[in-house]
Amino acid sequence: MRFIMGIQFSSLIHGREMALDEMSGRRIAIDTFNFLYQFLSIIRGADGQPLMDSKSRVTSHLSGLFYRTVNLLEAGVKPIYVFDGRAPEFKHAEAARRREVRETARIKWQAALERGELDEAKKQAARAVTLTDEMLDDSRALLDAMGVPVLQAPSEGEAFCAQIAAAGDAWAVASQDFDTLLFGAPRLIRNLSIYGKRKYRKQGWILVNPEMLELEAVLKELEIDRNQLIILGMLVGTDYDSGGIPGIGPVKGLKLVKEAKTLDAVLEKTGWTFDVPAKDIFDFFHDPPKADYNIEFKAPDAKKIIEILCDEHEFSRERVETALKRIIELKDRQTLESFLKK
């Protein structure tokens, strides 16, 4: 399973904040695993415990997925949820390392609980997030009942999202990972899973808004091409060479790719110590596995949604029905039929 990480480009590139209504009427390809990890990390109690039903089944992901999707649909956004497929072979070592990180965090979480240190417990609990097959199956079933498209990627979800957006079948990709730009997504929207939340920064508490980055604008700002952007990501550290090359941060990496320009020339200056050949990673970003797809929006099945959330997982029936009315009626701005025809 994927652990949220991605390239640390925040010090180099900045998008622009945007309002949700700017996405109204547009299709957004969503990196679903990224969203689910966000929900599992954030929707927790003071002690770090996720939401659960009476059978001790985690429901934080379903809560986040349902109410966030309702908000998007109500705003006129057309979400397309893309699930990860089989990760490339060269990611297996990194996946094993991340499992160890999660297990260490789980142990620290329990230890912090025993000491009564709730802040530390919650922090470690967020790092111990695991996404199970049962959670994925429940998520697919819920989204299908909500009538939004659910697509299966042949490999990495954000790569398939980028393919859909590059083909013009989605306006942008929603993910927290800058990797999405390396895969060629024309637009990346960050914070869509957590917009409206309050977050603490040095300047105090701020309200999180969606942030959009456009690939062409990023390349122009950095004065490089997409090949160089991929190389820069590899130097800093992607999901396939965690941590990147020691001693090279975003600023130094950018200087290197501008001077050396090509992968071979850059590696002559830096060396490469990872088991995975650098060319394999570069080629994967440039040309990941592709697949055909069919995007179809349907009317929500209220009965099935209530069955999944209320009957099976004990959500508040009143709250779920209230949320359902919002997307079925769409606040009289448009009928559901006209929404689906767009």
pLDDT digits (tens, 9 = 90+) for 252-290: 999 999 999 999 999 999 999 888 899 999 999 999 999
| Per-position b or e across 175-197, b if 16+ CB within 10 A of its CB | bbbbbbbbbbbbbbbbbbbbbee
More confident residue, 306 or 44: 306
* Residue pair 96/79 in contact by the 8 Å Cβ criterion: no
93 shares a domain with 104: yes
Tell me which residue of 250, 245, 288 sits closest to 267, measured CA to CA.
245
- Is there a domain that residue 28 lies in? yes
Q: Which of 287, 312, 335 is the last residue of a domain?
A: 287
pLDDT surpasses 70 at 198: no
Q: How confident is the model at residue 72 (pLDDT cuts 50, 70, 90)?
A: very high
Give the DSSP H or E segment for 239. none
Q: How confident is the model at residue 93 (pLDDT cuts 50, 70, 90)?
A: confident
Q: Which of 222, 251, 274 is the last residue of a domain?
A: 222
Section 198-226 average pLDDT: 84
Q: Check residue 5 and give its pLDDT.
A: 46
3-state SS, residue 117: coil
* Residue pair 51/106 in contact by the 8 Å Cβ criterion: no
240 shares a domain with 186: no
pTM for the full predicted model: 0.89
- Is there a domain that residue 302 lies in? no
189 shares a domain with 42: yes
176 shares a domain with 66: yes
Residues spanned by the domain of 10: 1-222
115 shares a domain with 200: yes
Alpha helices in the chain (DSSP H): 32-42, 60-74, 92-115, 118-127, 133-146, 157-166, 179-182, 215-222, 226-236, 250-260, 263-270, 278-286, 302-306, 317-329, 336-341
pLDDT surpasses 60 at 1: no
Q: Render pLDDT for 138-158 as a digit per residue (tens, 0 to 9).
A: 999 999 999 999 999 999 999
What is the crossing angle of helices 263-270 and 278-286, to 10°?
Answer: 150
Section 133-139 average pLDDT: 97
Q: Check residue 53 and give its pLDDT.
A: 95
Least confident piece of the model among 54-58, 61-65, 107-111, 189-193: 107-111
Q: What is the mean pLDDT of the chain?
A: 89
70 shares a domain with 4: yes
Q: How far apart are CA 229 and CA 137, in angstroms?
A: 35
- Is there a domain that residue 245 lies in? yes
Q: Which residues pair with 214 in a beta bridge?
A: 187
pLDDT surpasses 70 at 331: no
72: CATH: 3.40.50.1010
More confident residue, 96 or 309: 309
Q: Check residue 214 and give its pLDDT.
A: 97
Contacts of 179 (CB under 8 A, 6+ apart): 6, 7, 158, 233, 238, 239, 285
**Percentage of the residues of the chain whose pLDDT score is greater than 90:** 64
Least confident piece of the model among 73-87, 189-203, 231-245, 301-315: 189-203
240: CATH: 1.10.150.20
194 shares a domain with 183: yes
- The two beta strands, 198-201 and 211-214, are unpaired
238 shares a domain with 190: no
Q: Check residue 199 and give its pLDDT.
A: 66
* Residue pair 297/147 in contact by the 8 Å Cβ criterion: yes
119 shares a domain with 56: yes
Q: Which of 178, 204, 222 is the last residue of a domain?
A: 222
106 shares a domain with 17: yes
Tell me which residue of 249, 219, 252, 222 sits closest to 236, measured CA to CA.
249
Q: How far apart are CA 186 and CA 247, in angstroms?
A: 30
- Is there a domain that residue 182 lies in? yes
Q: How confident is the model at residue 203 (pLDDT cuts 50, 70, 90)?
A: low
pLDDT surpasses 50 at 21: yes
Q: How far apart are CA 118 and CA 45, in angstroms?
A: 10
Side-chain-facing half-sphere of 204: CA atoms under 13 Å: 0
pLDDT surpasses 70 at 312: yes
User: How many domains is the chain partitioned into structurally?
Assistant: 2
128 shares a domain with 252: no
